Amino acid sequence: MKLVIVRYGEIGLKGRNKKYFELALERNIRNQLPGVKTRTTGGRVYVETGEYPLEDVKKTLERTFGIQNFSMGTMVGFDVEEILSAALEVSEVEVSKGRKSFKVETKRANKKFPVRSLELSAFLGEKILEKFPELHVDVHNPEFVVGVEVRNRGTLLFSSKLAGPGGIPVGVSGKGLLLLSGGIDSPVAGWYSLKRGLDVHGIHFASPPYTGEKALEKVIDLARLLSMYNGGREFKLYNVGFTKAQLTVHRRVPEKFSLIIQRRTMMRIATEIADKLGYKVLITGENVGQVASQTIENMYAITEATNKLVLRPLTGFDKIETIDVARRIGSFEISTRPYEDCCTVFVPKEPATKARIKDILRTESGIDFDTLVNEAVQLTKVYTIKHGQVIGVEAFKVAE
Ligand code: ATP
Ligand code: MG
C-alpha cells in the first residue's frame, strides 16, 4: 500500500491547539487529493494515496503549507522477503535518479518482530548492494536513506525527505483580503500570508479604458497561481471598477496628494468589501522606502483610511529577495509582462513624500467618498478560482 509520511514543523509547537492544526492540515491534503485517506498519529500525517500518480502527490504536498517535509513510502507486512522487495523498490527509484550512496535506517517499534533493527538494516543493505552494484554504503553522508519502521500495523518503508513549504495550514488564521496589483510585490505578499495560515482572496482595482484586458488577464493569472497554494479552496478575486473614483480624485485634489488619496480610496473600498464578506485583515505588497508611496509618513496616511489591520509581509525584504521568491513560486514571469497599472496611468510627477494627515483630510473634505465607494463596489466583478482554474464570474453581491 502506498503511504506518504508527512511531517509538520511548527504545528508541533502549538500546544493545546495542536489537534485543530492537525485536522486543518489533513483536510487541506484531502481537499486537493480527493479520495485519499489521512490519519495523524505520533506527530505525523499518514496519507494513503491509492491510485494517485506519485508525481501528482509530490507536486501537491510541495505546495501545502504546514508541511515541513515528506517521504514517499510503502506499507507492507512483517515478512522479510516482502520487506526486502519494498526496500529494493525504494532503492530503485533513487538509483534511477543517479544516486550513488545510501544507508538503511531501521526502527523497530514492534518488539514482537523477531529481527533486531541493526540486523535488519545490515541484511537489507547487503541485498540492496547485491542488486545495485553501482551503490555503496555511506553511513555519515548518504545520498539517500532507506527508512524502515517496523510498526504494529505493518512495516513502513520510505525514501529520502522531500521539502514542503513550511508555515501553517491555510485556513487556521481566518480570511484575508490581498490588494493584488499586477506588480511583483503583492503576489509574493499573498504567498507569505497563505503561509501563515490565512485563507487569502484578492482585490484588484482596474480603471478601464485606461487599463486594458491584458492587465486584468495578468491579475487573473496571478490569482490562479496563488490558488495553487491555498489547500484546494476557492479563491475569490474581486475586480473593482475604479475608473470613476480615480478620475474624481485626479480632478479634485492637488497633484502632489493624488497618489495618496487614490490609495486611501482603495483602502476604503477594500474595507467595505472586507466588512461585508468577513475578511479579517487586509494585506498589501508595500515595503518601507521602496517607492514614493512607501515612506513611513505616506504609509501611515494611506492606512489611516481603514480601521482594519493591514499586514505587509514584505517589510524587511530587499527587492532582490522579493524577486527571488517571485521566481521560485512562479509569479515573476507573470508580474513582469508589460501592462498598464491604474496607478501608473495617473501617477503624479512629484508626489508628496511626507504627507501630513491634516492636509490630506482637508483636501478630501467635500469629496463624497461613500458614494464613490458604493458605486465602485456595485461595479465589482467576482472571479471564483479553484486549483488554478477560473470556475465562475459574477457581479458582486453580499450573501444573505
Ligand atoms: P506591487 O509590486 O505589488 O505592485 P509596488 O512596489 O508597485 O507593489 P505600490 O505601487 O506602492 O508598490 O503599491 C503598493 C501596494 O498597493 C501593492 O503591493 C498592492 O498591494 C497595492 N496596490 C497598488 N495598486 C493596486 C491595484 N491596482 N489593485 C490592487 N492593489 C493595488
Ligand atoms: Mg505596483
Q: What is the CATH number of the domain that holds 117?
A: 3.30.2130.30
Domain boundaries, position 144: 2-163
Across the chain, which has 400 residues, the per-10-residue mean pLDDT values are 90 77 96 96 92 94 97 95 96 94 96 94 97 96 96 93 95 97 96 98 94 93 98 98 94 92 97 97 91 84 97 95 98 90 69 88 95 96 98 87
In a domain, 400, yes or no: no
In a domain, 306, yes or no: yes
Nearest to 223 by CA among 382, 394, 26, 395: 382
Kindly state if the Cβ of 184 falls inside 6 Å of ligand 1: yes
Per-residue pLDDT at 12: 64
222 appears as a binding residue in the annotation: no
Instruction: Clarify whether residues 184 and 223 are in a common domain.
Output: yes
Kindly state if the Cβ of 285 falls inside 6 Å of ligand 1: yes
The DSSP code sequence of 184-197 is SHHHHHHHHHHHBT
Kindly state if the Cβ of 293 falls inside 6 Å of ligand 1: yes
| Cα 335 to ligand 2 centre (Å) | 10
Kindly state if the Cβ of 179 falls inside 6 Å of ligand 1: yes
Per-residue pLDDT at 384: 98
Instruction: Clarify whether residues 159 and 189 are in a common domain.
Output: no
Per-residue pLDDT at 84: 97
Instruction: Clarify whether residues 95 and 182 are in a common domain.
Output: no
**What's at 144, amino acid-wise?**
F
285 appears as a binding residue in the annotation: yes
Query: Which of 178, 185, 271 is the best mutation target for the ligand 1 pocket, counting ligand atoms within 8 Å of the beta carbon and taking the most?
Result: 185
Nearest to 284 by CA among 185, 382, 194, 383: 185
Per-residue pLDDT at 198: 98
- Into how many domains does the chain fold? 2
Per-residue pLDDT at 172: 95
Per-residue pLDDT at 344: 64
Per-residue pLDDT at 400: 57
Q: Write the CA distances from 72 to 4, 5, 23, 41, integer angstroms.
A: 5, 7, 21, 17
Identify any residues that bridge with 69 across adjacent strands, giving them in sequence order.
7, 163
Instruction: Clarify whether residues 134 and 201 are in a common domain.
Output: no
Instruction: Clarify whether residues 153 and 182 are in a common domain.
Output: no
| Cα 83 to ligand 2 centre (Å) | 56
Per-residue pLDDT at 343: 62
Per-residue pLDDT at 345: 61
Residue 256's SS3 state is helix
pTM for the full predicted model? 0.93
Instruction: Clarify whether residues 180 and 144 are in a common domain.
Output: no
Q: What angle do CA 223, 282, 336 make, to 5 degrees?
A: 35
Q: Of the candidates 163, 189, 205, which is a domain's last residue?
A: 163
Instruction: Clarify whether residues 212 and 309 are in a common domain.
Output: yes
Per-residue pLDDT at 397: 87
In a domain, 314, yes or no: yes
Q: What is the CATH number of the domain that holds 205?
A: 3.40.50.620
